[in-house]
Amino acid sequence: MKPSAWANPAPQPRQPCKTLSRYWRCPDLLPAIWETARSGWYFRVLEEGPVNPGDALLLRERPHPGWTVACLLRLLRDRDPADSARAAGLEALSPTWRARFEGFGWKG
């Protein structure tokens, strides 16, 4: 699949859950993921097709360079109201996560 055939217009971090610890039979895995904020993310498929080992991933744009997956995951954990309100306004973030941060946001 050529890189131009797919993209990630509405990214969503992968929220860590106990399924990972169970699958890998490693009870310390979930706390380690939350601690390091290295959970990965989901891509949105725009055009179905094969992806092969060695295929290139090209970063075409970074609309909010200050908002990394790790930053969003820590915010999900810590629920800072002011930062949550800012994250809720990130148009590049998936609607599900924007709504979640909106729920944590500053109401004043």
Domain boundaries, the chain: 10-46+66-104
6-10, 19-23, 93-97: which has the minimum mean pLDDT? Answer: 6-10
The separation between the first and the last C-alpha atoms of the chain, rounded to the nearest angstrom, is 48
* pLDDT at residue number 88: 94
Asked whether the beta carbons of 39 and 15 are under 8 A apart, the reply is yes
Q: Report the b/e string of 51-84 with b at 16+ CB within 10 A.
A: eeeeeeeeeeeeebeebebeebbbbbeeebeebb
pLDDT given at position 106: 67
pLDDT tens across 68-103, in order?
Answer: 889 999 999 998 999 999 999 998 888 889 999 998
Q: What is the mean pLDDT of the chain?
A: 83
